[in-house]
Amino acid sequence: MRTACEVEADLALTLLPLVSRLTTRGNVEVLSQIMSRFFREEDRSRFGLANAITAFARDTRDPDLRWIWRSLVAESPSV
């Protein structure tokens, strides 16, 4: 069994649950920021995507939103 660090992220499949939750215009900007963070780094694994989401959450000022984004990473088996 390979770990999340060893599996290259299949972005279409990995992001599908995330995109399905992002239905409003403001959330499209959030997805854009997360993807920007993801592509800035060399790690294209699921772990790298989880790091990008967690980094976005860490920089979010609203504590409720921060919790939601961190929970999304913890809950999602695809990330």
Structure tokens of 23? 């239905």
Dihedral angle over CA of 47, 61, 23, 10, nearest 10 = -10
H or E stretch covering 36: helix 25-40
What does pTM read for this prediction? 0.69
Q: How confident is the model at residue 58 (pLDDT cuts 50, 70, 90)?
A: very high
Q: State pLDDT tens for residues 3-50.
A: 666 666 666 666 666 666 665 656 778 888 888 998 999 888 888 888
For residue 55, the one-letter residue type is A
